Structure 1
Amino acid sequence: MKINTVFYVLITLTLLLVSCSKDEVLDRKESESLELNKEVSSKALKQIGSGVMMQAFYWDVPAGGTWWNVVKGKVDDWSNAGIDAIWLPPVSKAQNGPFSMGYDPFDYYDFGEYNQMGSTETRFGSRSELTSLITTAHNNGLSVIADIVINHNSGGDSEANIFTNTNTYTDYNPMSGLFERSQYDFHPNDYHNNDSGVFGGFADLCHHKSYVQDWLWNKSNSVAKYYKNTMKFDGWRFDYVKGFEPWVAKEFNQAVGGFAVGEYWDANVNTLAWWTDQAQMSAFDFACYYKMRDAFMGNNLNALSEDMLWKRNPLRAVTFVANHDTDEIINNKILAYAYILTHEGYPAIFYSDYEEWLDKSKMNNLIWIHNNLAAGNTTNLWTDNDEYISRRNGAGAKSGLVVYINNSNSWQERWIETNWSSKKIKDYTGNSGWEPTTQVGKWVKIQAPPKGYSVWSVK
């Protein structure tokens, strides 16, 4: 009996060990599978610039920590519509805590987890909700662009400043314990007295200080690397880049890679082209924005033929009709979207326009046209006060298109030269019932509705 008992005990222990071993293997395989799925998800991200960017907020979105969940609930639909990236507002804790839109940053590493500045959560939600949003966006093939505010800070305590001989609010002791700052890190200081980047009276970071550079992009847990590696952001929108030299944004982006665009708020196309060349990244095409304002608010479509950043370098131009700071194009705004979604550059859509103010079916149709038809360089075919016609000449598998924008109060039609000989074409907006066939010489007559547009391509 004793021998049998020992025997059975040994058998039982062996089975338990094998079972535990199998469980460990299964757990490990499950873990590896999860990691593989994460990797597959990452690899499945749409290429930024292949579709359309969504600015996933507007000024004064609802407070109360709900916004991350609101956006999370929309990313699936956005992805299906053809969006390839979402641009979030500044994600870290700012001076105005639960009420701040994030542009007065205090603690770059508090994503809604420390009770400081009057709240634990940010205006938009908690860190876990932000992480869940980013994961959900990635699972839907969308990249996530962080709004980077590194010109100015707010919320520091008062300290006696030896450089100004006054008291300044430059003593920063964030609860995260990361990137503490003092008078030595802001203008003026012992290294650099230039304060040309001062914005709204906020403390102005000195990017020439090695300590500031280390915390913004050089250290292994710098803002740039933490946002990229831990928070899993895929790209960067740099706020108020007029406040610092182009090399700052360039070095930040080079430290981590990814898509990058700067807010250089200037209508001068030469200045925008200079900045994109120096910073080696994209810029919002304010030259295009102001020409569209002149065209649609000033009722003179001739402005659309003038110079813009996308005409200089479409790979560096992010075109837009409205954003959280400026929304002046009110008359026939859908025509402005018809313009940027059929032309070169990387178009960005404003949340409020898409979700609230404009016809979503028309917006989705234009996004589809952009993603499936718009390719190749641009040839202007006709421009006057009321009418604008241009041709995208096609590239690769995309046959190109002809867009006809009509700002008059009646139907208009014109003969135009296409790239297609003896081909039946149609208006992919459905605004026209015609399906004409181009002549052997590639000419055809097309039309556009009053205060409307049509987009033509081979059937």
Structure 2
Amino acid sequence: MFAKLKNFIKGALRTPPAPLTYMRLGPPGSLKDSNPLMIQFFTWDCLHETLSWWKHFEEEIPRLASLGITQVWLPPPNKAAEPVSAFHQTYQLLILMGLQKGRGYDAYDLWDLGEFEQKGTIETRWGTREELLHACEVAERHGIDILIDAVLNHKLGADRVEEFQAVPSQEANRLKDAGPPREIHGWTAFDFPGRGKKYSKFRWTQEHFTGVDWDQKTKTKGIYRITGPGHKGWSRNVDSELGNYDFLLGVDIDHRHLAVVEDLVTWGKWILETTGAVGFRLDAIKHIDQKFMLHWIRETRRLSGKKDMFAVSEYWSGNLQLLLPYVKAFKGETAFFDVPLHMNFHQASRERTRYDLRRVLCNTVVQARPNDAVTFVDNHDTVKVEGQSLESWVGTSFKVQAYSLILLRGYGYPCLFYGDLYPNKEGYDANVARNIILLVEARKKFAYGATEDYLAEKNCIGFVRKGDATHPGCAVILSNKEDGESSITHELRMNVGARYAGKVFQSHMTQHGRVQVDAQGWGVFSCFANNVQVWTPLEEESQGVEN
């Protein structure tokens, strides 16, 4: 008895391993001699002019592999429905006419990857099941892992209306009622007539949900908490924003229902086996019951046999103090996107010269818990599109500087954004894209070893990567100085290590520039105003100082 108690206490006190220290960040072979790197391969409105998205992805795989990409986060592959508007019949008509195709976050059927005639189409927005699986096979052959975007919080696009009792909740505080109980007609019956019982026999009805946002009986939009036999109200194990943030949109899933849990866990194992994917991006976890989410991650790992299964969660808040309790609650089972760092980048791009670069990493996940942080500059939620509630685009004035901080420093796991690298209508800049590619190349070749910071002044900071036994290092300097004088040059004295004593460094971002390193490893490195420069060791055969 005493031994069991002792072991229990030891287990309770044991610090769980940090996710980035044990989770798979790419195929083992691809990480033998290179840094891991993720890319989000889609934007909010992306579509290819001539190819399905899966075909487009397949064509780009060789290029992604050559850049050093080890993991690709794909959009939700499931059959979707456009978000239900205040006129559900109009939405249904648009779907049937083929004029709208949901992006997958409006999840209809997780088991339909573009295989069944449902919602007026066989393929999803991204293509067919066959195209997806073939692209995944090609990625595997090129040493690239696939990550599935798992949308487990809600459903949309039900096949039938059901009648049930519900109570309207206040928008600003979901713990307070906005009126008396009433009978409403909600879109809560999911029959999946096109798929039938293939892959899963489970059928969703109102008993499997906590709330809806539309009453078809009165044609009224609102937040309705479903009541009646078997219903337990909103989950308590969610974020406390708006009193209780269980409900986000559409038809909110009750993750305490045993049949729901069983179906979603089974799907997790199935989607990994079907696609060959190695992990997940978990959507909107602040709205999902924490106990369920932790159970789902652990069970999916166990059932799939992937102990190193990758998982990164989206908890959208720029406040580190709100995010950290979630990081700790998940006990090392998932990494987290560093939204506070993204918001710092966004603020820096707005304030321009007024922003103090020395605080750009302050109050971020990567600073507080670097092995829990997936760093990013922008994503599909931050783009400037109509109706985008999380719009926080990092402008071109700071985009390259931001990427230099996530790609070349030795902390966190960086994620590139398709919208910053490929031409699109949502914020693409060709010059920015060229510079990001140069930074990606520098990450692959030079960004190794310990990181040493040089926080020189408000508008100019730098850092050095010292290199390791098999890779050279680099020196990085960045500026946000904007006084209308592009000729301004910042200079920063940094130490690149005794191994480079007497050597010469060259500029990586431009074709010219040399720096002589002294006998103690010090050099004076420069950067144009409002720019980034990466300095790398000159190859032995061309060593020398530029006259």
TM-score, scaled to structure 1: 0.83
Residues 369-411 of structure 1 deviation map (CA, whole Å, 9 limit, x = unaligned): 2233223453321243321212334455344432100222311
Q: Which amino acid aligns with 2:404?
A: A
Which has the larger share of helix?
1
Q: 1:296 to 1:432 in 2, by over 3 A?
A: farther
- Measured on the aligned residues, the alpha-carbon RMSD in Å equals 2.6
Q: Is 1:250–2:294 an aligned residue pair?
A: yes
Equivalent pair of 2:477/2:492 in contact (CA under 8 Å): no
Q: Is 1:56–2:100 an aligned residue pair?
A: no
Equivalent pair of 2:465/2:496 in contact (CA under 8 Å): no
Distance 1:377 1:84 in 2: 22
Partner of 2:140: 138
Partner of 1:184: 207
Residues 137-171 of structure 1 deviation map (CA, whole Å, 9 limit, x = unaligned): 11111111111110111112211124553222111
Q: Is 1:352–2:419 an aligned residue pair?
A: yes
Distance 2:462 2:30 in 1: 34
Residues 195-239 of structure 1 deviation map (CA, whole Å, 9 limit, x = unaligned): 64455541111111111111111xxxx110111112222110011
Identify which range, 227-236 or 269-278, moves more after superposition. Answer: 269-278
Residues 80-99 of structure 1 deviation map (CA, whole Å, 9 limit, x = unaligned): 11111111111111123651
Using the aligned pairs only, state the percent identity.
24
Superposition pairs of residues 17-416 of structure 1, within 5 angstroms? 44=29, 50-62=35-47, 66-96=52-82, 99-156=101-158, 157-162=160-165, 165-174=183-192, 175-176=194-195, 177=197, 178=200, 179-187=202-210, 188=226, 190-194=230-234, 196-217=244-265, 222-254=266-298, 255-256=300-301, 257=306, 258-279=309-330, 280-299=333-352, 300=355, 301-327=357-383, 328-332=393-397, 333-343=399-409, 344-356=411-423, 357-359=429-431, 360-408=433-481, 409=486, 410-416=488-494
Query: How many equivalent residue pairs?
Result: 415
Equivalent pair of 1:295/1:302 in contact (CA under 8 Å): no
Equivalent pair of 1:420/1:438 in contact (CA under 8 Å): no
Equivalent pair of 1:297/1:331 in contact (CA under 8 Å): no
Equivalent pair of 1:379/1:392 in contact (CA under 8 Å): yes
Equivalent pair of 2:464/2:494 in contact (CA under 8 Å): no
Distance 2:513 2:47 in 1: 45
Shift of 1:337: 1.3
Equivalent pair of 1:154/1:203 in contact (CA under 8 Å): yes
Q: Which amino acid aligns with 1:252?
A: W
Distance 1:341 1:127 in 2: 33
Unaligned runs of 5+ residues in structure 2 are 1-25, 83-94, 168-182, 211-225, 236-243, 384-392, 424-428, 539-547
Equivalent pair of 1:94/1:104 in contact (CA under 8 Å): yes
Equivalent pair of 1:288/1:308 in contact (CA under 8 Å): yes
SS of 2:408's equivalent in the other structure is coil
Distance 2:450 2:420 in 1: 27
Shift of 1:100: 0.6
Equivalent pair of 1:158/1:167 in contact (CA under 8 Å): yes
Shift of 1:316: 1.5
Q: 1:363 to 1:128 in 2, by over 3 A?
A: same
SS of 1:353's equivalent in the other structure is helix
TM-score, scaled to structure 2: 0.71
Match of 2:522 among 432, 443, 446: 443
